[in-house]
Chain A
Amino acid sequence: MLNIKDLHVSIEGKKILNGLNLSINKGEVHALMGPNGSGKSTLSYFLSGKDGYEIEKGSIDYNGKNLLDLEVDERANEGLFLAFQYPMEIPGVQTSFFLKTAINSKRKHQGLPEIDALEFAKLIKSQAQELDISSDMLRRDLNVNYSGGEKKKQEILQMSLLNPAMSILDETDSGLDIDALRIVSEGVNKLRNKDNSFLVITHYQRLLNYIKPDYVHIIADGKIVKSGDFSLALELEEKGYEEISKTAQ
């Protein structure tokens, strides 16, 4: 699915990723954990194709394609999804209209006609209900005056509607209370199947109690310093980043 080799990336001359290797297969859930400034968010933005990053070295293969050849929207329509840490507010754009536009962009890419209005209404109603999103919220402007929890639920709603092959969750747990964390995690777990993959970026092991990863990686100074299974997350919780990074190096 996703194969990152020896990735070196800088922002305005400052090196952020420093020889990162990561391989994610179909059906796997990987957790990426690390302290602030370790390069977690840079990796998620860079994979999504955001401007302002410079690649110095390395390659990224995505489903047999060179990911770096694709524009932001092409990556999205090829099934790469980023659940944002800070979802953007778009004033004046009704949430349901935005969702429909996103679905139709993907359908257009797949050569399908636009989604039928009735079909869309049914789809959005059932998915929103599962995430405890009210129909009133769908009528509001996208992310405008949403609480932190509502914004994150909105990201998961978009994820479930677009049904991506490769989802990156960038600190989706930040700012969530325990109920919202459970709802969001259940939403992600429902999407898990043998054909799609997840990269879950987080500071805390707490989220991983809900979304059980197959692999856990620890990132420090722009590269992965240690990988393991779920027990690594527990070990990290106990010892802290500094000690684990030290022993790894």
Chain B
Amino acid sequence: MAATEQTIKQVNKLGNSDYKYGFSTDVDDIKPPKGLNEDIVKYISSQKNEPEWMLDWRLKAFSVFNKMPKPDWAKLDIPDIDFQDYYYYSSPKSLKDKPKSLDEIDPEILKTYEKLGIPIKEQEKLAGVAVDVVFDSVSVATTYKKQLSELGIIFCSISEATKNHPELVKKYLGSVIPIADHSFAALNSAVFTDGSFVYIPEGVRCPVELSTYFRINAMNTGQFERTLIIADKNSYVSYLEGCTAPMRDESQLHAANVELVALENAEIKYSTVQNWYPGDSEGKGGIYNFVTKRGACRGNNSKISWTQVETGSAITWKYPSCILQGDNSKGEFYSVAITNNRQQADTGTKMIHIGKNTSSKIISKGISAGKANNTYRGLVNIQSKASNSRNFTQCDSLLIGNECGAHTVPYIESSNSDSMVEHEATTSKINEEQLFYCMQRGLNSEDAVGLIVNGFCKEVLQHLPMEFAVEAQKLVAISLEGSVG
């Protein structure tokens, strides 16, 4: 049965048409059998024609994974995951011979992106965004490569980087997230399929926002993206990542690893809009999103800024973090996490202050509706040598309805008496008087909720690049449809 028919059938079965991006593209998959074992790891590596050092790295990670328990600190109700019941590799068949330009790309794939409102060609021309599109684990198109390469910027898939820039990959892969960090990190290291690689050379300011759109499109395909971004001395890059996924019946496993390295005076801005399929209103069928994102401010005066808008997934487990190693380095975390129906999110950040005069800022906005649970979990750790360091944390939670939950779990550890840590937290219910006021001006209840919640999130959304912010505002409103009245 073709993938489209299958999806339509599932959608009908679920009787749920709420998910706006719930469609699937008819692309033939090639995939090995379900299950996780050493042969699969070897299969993935050989499919990608990887050098031996990479296969060895994967196998080492796999043996670590087998020995590690699943992390259990989060306030999440995670069903037992049968790792043998997933596919670990799939790639659209039409990509066997890699396309040289967008014209050679399967029109079905291009159509999918159009439905998502991402006309690649227009983006190329109008928005000045270079797009490294990940479609089912394999990069299908990389644009603007030529202009970027003139500046010495490397922007390609991690598979290509392994082949063409092994010295960089060897040096930095796993240097921020060690394979033994926790079991999802080890799993990703063993079976990662593809993802983006960015290297900005010394003294270069990347002139465009680099952008990748991830999308799950094959039945039961665990997605194991691996992203590595390195900003060399005195460089700057802004990277955007956005996800939408089609309607699925069975839960899908997603465990991405993202590593950022900022050297002296370098700055990396990483923005995410995440809209994986959250499951139906009863929570059936959504994506499990276990993401490890970590940035190392290795050089003095370096800066890493994470901005995320998390609206999708059945379960979100994610703590984009900064290791502030260099003196005067800065870490920022701006987050909006929305949970509706039966979604669960446990998200936050870790700011590890190691260098002197390091500073970090955390702004987290959690919105919970329906029967959802939303937890902010954050660690601010100031080590003994991090003199004169500061942190400011603000966590605001907004509740819509009487059946949802919001939780704030801050961990603060300071081993340095010169440093200052501030924490503010609020929890409030959506204000009925505000809703009435907006509706008295003609807004329907959904528009009124969208407006008020967008206002609540403004401090975070304003850190997104312009075009992304507009998309995110729409998403915020869409995510809460049906939550009031």
Contact = CB atoms under 8 A, between A and B. Distances in A.
Contacts of A71: 439
Nearest to A104: B442
B434 A90 contact: yes
Contact of B440 (A82, A90, A91, A101): A82
B243 interface: no
Interface in A66-95: 71-73, 76-77, 81-82, 84, 87-93
Interface stretch (B24-32, B47-55, B119-127, B444-452): B444-452
Interface string B39-67: 00000000000000000000000000000
B452 A90 contact: yes
A90 B456 CA distance: 9
B467 interface: no
A105 to B, nearest CB: 4
A102 B452 contact: no
Contacts of A106: 442
A67 B443 CA distance: 18
A125 interface: no
Contacts of B448: 73
Contacts of A92: 454-459
Nearest to B431: A88
A84 B459 contact: no
A105 B455 contact: no
Contact of A98 (B444, B451, B456): B451
A189 to B, nearest CB: 22
Contacts of B444: 73, 105
Given A73-B442, A76-B441, A92-B456, A101 B436 contact: no
A162 interface: yes
A72 B440 contact: yes
Interface string B444-485: 110110011011111100000000000000000000000000
Q: B interface, by DSSP: helix, strand, loop or mixed? A: helix
A196 to B, nearest CB: 16
Contacts of A77: 442
B452 A76 contact: no
Given A88-B433, A88-B437, A90-B434, A141 B455 contact: yes
A51 B440 contact: no
A162 B440 contact: no
Contacts of B110: none
Given A90-B451, A93-B451, A101-B447, A72 B439 contact: yes
Contacts of B436: 48, 50-51, 72, 88
A23 B381 CA distance: 68
Given A90-B452, A92-B454, A102 B441 contact: yes
A158 interface: yes
A50 B458 CA distance: 28
A162 B436 CA distance: 17
Interface in B422-441: 431-434, 436-441
Interface string B404-429: 00000000000000000000000000
A73 B455 contact: no
A48 B440 contact: yes
A75 to B, nearest CB: 8
Contact of B443 (A50, A82, A88, A102): A102
Contacts of B447: 101, 105
B389 to A, nearest CB: 30
B452 A93 contact: yes
Contacts of B432: 51
Contact of B437 (A84, A109, A141): A84
A43 to B, nearest CB: 15
A242 B459 CA distance: 52
Interface in B126-172: none
A44 B322 CA distance: 53
A182 B457 CA distance: 38
Interface in A165-217: none
Contacts of A48: 436, 440
Contacts of A73: 439-440, 442-445, 448
Contacts of A50: 436
Contacts of B440: 48-49, 72-73, 76, 81-82, 84
Contact of A93 (B433, B445, B454): B454
Interface in B149-207: none
B49 to A, nearest CB: 50
Interface centre among A76, A141, A162 (most CB of B within 10 A): A76
Contacts of A141: 455
Contacts of A87: 437
Interface in A25-56: 48-51
Given A51-B432, A51-B436, A84-B437, A90 B442 contact: no
Interface centre among B436, B441, B457 (most CB of A within 10 A): B441
B455 A102 contact: no
Given A98-B451, A105-B447, A90 B438 contact: yes
Nearest to A82: B440
Nearest to B453: A92
Interface of A: 48-51, 71-73, 76-77, 81-82, 84, 87-93, 98, 101-102, 105-106, 109, 141, 158, 162
11 contacts: A48-B440, A49-B440, A76-B442, A81-B440, A90-B438, A92-B456, A92-B457, A93-B452, A102-B441, A105-B443, A162-B442
Q: What are the 5 tightest A-B residue pairs by CB atom distance, in nearest-first order?
A: A92-B455, A92-B458, A105-B442, A93-B455, A88-B437
Interface of B: 431-434, 436-445, 447-448, 451-452, 454-459
Given A50-B436, A88-B437, A90-B434, 17 more contacts: A49-B440, A51-B432, A71-B439, A72-B440, A73-B443, A73-B448, A76-B439, A81-B440, A88-B431, A90-B437, A91-B458, A92-B455, A93-B451, A101-B443, A102-B442, A105-B442, A158-B441
